[in-house]
Amino acid sequence: MKNIIKLIATASLLVTASTSFAQSADDKPSKAAYADPAQPMLSDTPMEITKSDTALVVIDPQIDFLSPEGVSWGAVGESVTEHNVVQHLEDLFSAANNSDMLTFVSPHYYYPHDHEWEFEGKLEKLMHDIKMFDRAGQLNTTGFEGSGADWMPQYKQYIDSKNTIVSAPHKIYGPEQNDLVLQMRKRGINKIILAGMSSNLCVQAHMHELIEQGFEVMVVRDATAGAIIPEGDGYLAALVNFRFMASEVVYTSEAVERIKTAR
């Protein structure tokens, strides 16, 4: 027991009270529940951002999640607005593009055959019921432009650039069923700056799998958001696990500055 207490005390002392990147007023969470602990036990394990082996990874930057016109806005809109996610994602896309850093996008699409599944989890059923991320077919783009499955318009210039790779779609939450890991390994990527939607579902699931696959993962905490429904606050649930598992959890302002100054 004495050794455990000593370990906890040592871990607490290792936490640095300040960083070289001061939080701006915009960085400070407006809800007390989202604030960082005053005396954290866990220390960040800083990730060195280098252009040769670091990439920005953005999950589901699509209309159905991020626009008031999207089918999930009633659940996620408060959190998206709270954390200014739409602007923060654009800030990250822009910084990576201007720095010639690779960006990978892991999208979410459902095709007609996906609606024939014989069983579903609760959220899978809901997404299918509200036709979230629906497309006419894998090779059929009829009705895709401007639909809920399409990119947010302000991101298209970045996603269409030569430095952005769009993986095959993930189907439920994580990247186990798409080629995201393969594409990153083939480009020599070992470190990831992770952002997108939604926090406790696809972003957290991607974080888990990418860590298990041997990547270092930094999560950008105000470039993601979650559903706030009677069952709970998805963003808060994710934030706890980001702190436990990611190498670092940072704000957009810090991530952008570190991308810009990466060697």
Q: Can you tell me the distance from the alpha carbon of 47 to that of 28, in angstroms, rounded to the nearest whole number?
A: 22
Give domain status of residue 10, yes or no: no
Domain count, the chain: 1
| pLDDT at position 9 | 38
CB 169 within 8 Å of CB 197: no
The two beta strands, 216-225 and 191-197, are parallel
Give domain status of residue 43, yes or no: no
Distance of CA 222 to the CA centre of its chain: 9
Kind plus residue range of the DSSP H or E element containing 216: strand 216-225
Tens of pLDDT along 132-160? 999 999 999 999 999 999 999 999 999 99
Give domain status of residue 106, yes or no: yes
Tens of pLDDT along 37-65? 999 999 889 999 999 999 999 999 999 99
Q: Can you tell me the distance from the alpha carbon of 129 to that of 127, in angstroms, rounded to the nearest whole number?
A: 5
Give domain status of residue 20, yes or no: no
Give domain status of residue 14, yes or no: no
| pLDDT at position 4 | 38
CB 235 within 8 Å of CB 199: yes
Give domain status of residue 26, yes or no: no
| pLDDT at position 44 | 84
Distance of CA 184 to the CA centre of its chain: 16
CA distances from 226 to 62, 63, 195, 215, 232 (A): 14, 15, 12, 24, 10
Cis peptide before 253 (omega within 30 of 0): no
At 30, the pLDDT band (50, 70, 90 cuts) reads low
At 255, the pLDDT band (50, 70, 90 cuts) reads very high
The answer to whether residue 5 scores a pLDDT higher than 90 is no
Q: What is the CATH number of the domain that holds 78?
A: 3.40.50.850
The least confident of 9-23, 91-105, 135-149 is 9-23
Per-residue pLDDT, averaged over 122-127, amounts to 94
End-to-end CA separation in angstroms for the chain? 45
CA distances from 122 to 127, 141, 161, 165 (A): 9, 28, 36, 31
Q: Which domain holds residue 95?
A: 49-260
CA distances from 98 to 56, 58, 164, 189 (A): 12, 16, 12, 18
CB 260 within 8 Å of CB 56: no
The least confident of 2-11, 55-64, 72-81 is 2-11
CB 92 within 8 Å of CB 193: yes
The answer to whether residue 22 scores a pLDDT higher than 60 is no
Give domain status of residue 2, yes or no: no
Q: Can you tell me the distance from the alpha carbon of 52 to that of 48, in angstroms, rounded to the nearest whole number?
A: 11
Alpha helices in the chain (DSSP H): 2-14, 63-66, 73-82, 85-98, 122-129, 156-159, 180-186, 204-212, 234-245, 252-260
Give domain status of residue 34, yes or no: no
Tens of pLDDT along 178-233? 999 999 999 999 999 999 999 999 999 999 999 999 999 999 999 999 999 999 99
| pLDDT at position 27 | 56
Task: Identify the residue whose tokens are 């210039």.
Answer: 157
Region at 48 (left for phi over 0; alpha for psi -120 to 50; beta for the rest): beta
| pLDDT at position 55 | 98
DSSP lists the bridge partners of residue 108 as 170
Per-residue pLDDT, averaged over 82-111, amounts to 98
Tens of pLDDT along 234-253? 999 999 999 999 999 999 99
| pLDDT at position 12 | 38
What Rg, from alpha-carbon coordinates, does the chain have? 19
| pLDDT at position 113 | 97
